Amino acid sequence: MTSPATTGPVLAELRPSGRSYGAYALPLVPLAAVLLVVRLTGDGLSLGGSVAVAAGVVAVAGVVALLYFRGTSLVLTPGALVYRSPLARDRVVAPGDVSGGVLVPRYRVLNGPESVLFALLGHDGRALVRIQGVHWDAGQVTRFARATGVPLTEVPQPVDRRDLRPWCPGALPVAERRPVAFFLTVLGGTLLVVAVLVVVLVAAGV
């Protein structure tokens, strides 16, 4: 269902960049495929079968990436910013809900490559919309962020979560804002699933 705020003229649109993602991911694909073939052949699968499995994995990953790239966008209209993703429902942000934005073109997660981070913050300091990753082009994100017209805090120097957390924790995802709590939550959930699976198997007499 659409609203008048989301059906006006498109002022700006942002999509993931296949070029930015390809520059990072494509060199890793052959290496990952070779490692998978080596592992499968070491487990007793024939070379031909191992190559076929690796090719299938690469093909499926490519299709998933294509669907994500084609289905993800940020669209700016006069009455709203709409974040569309194939993984979730559309998120509509009204201008009055936004207090400001944070733009970090050179954000680093742990020891990973630098990537752009952009977040629109609500009046409570939490992120209403957040994008981050090597699949976004820093130049395109910068132009889109400035086109929104919101008060924008730009951080040009390289930073990580330790730099942002003291003054702008809302721009960070929970995994980086509270890494220990997030890890314990994931670990607890995993152990719970394993425990339930064990109980089911025991009850089934397996």
Higher pLDDT, 19 or 83: 83
Q: What is the pLDDT of residues 56-72, one digit of tens each?
A: 888 888 888 788 778 88
Per cent of the chain over pLDDT 90 is 27
Whether residues 160 and 180 share a domain: the answer is no
Q: How confident is the model at residue 39 (pLDDT cuts 50, 70, 90)?
A: confident
> Distances from the Cα of 12 to the Cαs of 59, 81, 206, in angstroms?
32, 9, 57
| N-terminal to C-terminal alpha carbon distance within the chain | 48
The whole-angstrom separation of Cα 102 and Cα 154 is 6
According to DSSP, the residues that pair with 84 across neighbouring strands are 73
Higher pLDDT, 97 or 201: 97
The CATH number for 94's domain is 2.30.29
Domain span holding position 197: 176-206
Whether residues 49 and 109 share a domain: the answer is no
Average predicted confidence (pLDDT) for the chain:
82
Whether residues 96 and 146 share a domain: the answer is yes
Task: Indicate the number of domains in the chain.
Answer: 3
Q: Is residue 87 part of a domain?
A: yes
| The pLDDT of residue 183 is above 80 | no
- Residue 159 DSSP label: B
| 203: CB partners within 8 A, 6+ apart | none
| The pLDDT of residue 1 is above 50 | no
Cβ proximity of 15 and 75 under 8 Å: no
Q: Is residue 99 part of a domain?
A: yes
| The pLDDT of residue 170 is above 60 | yes
40 sits in which H/E element: helix 28-42
pTM value > 0.75: no
Question: What is the residue whose two structure tokens read 């073109």?
Answer: 105
What pLDDT is recorded for position 2?
Answer: 47
State phi, psi for 21 to the nearest 5 degrees. Answer: -70, -40
Whether residues 122 and 159 share a domain: the answer is yes
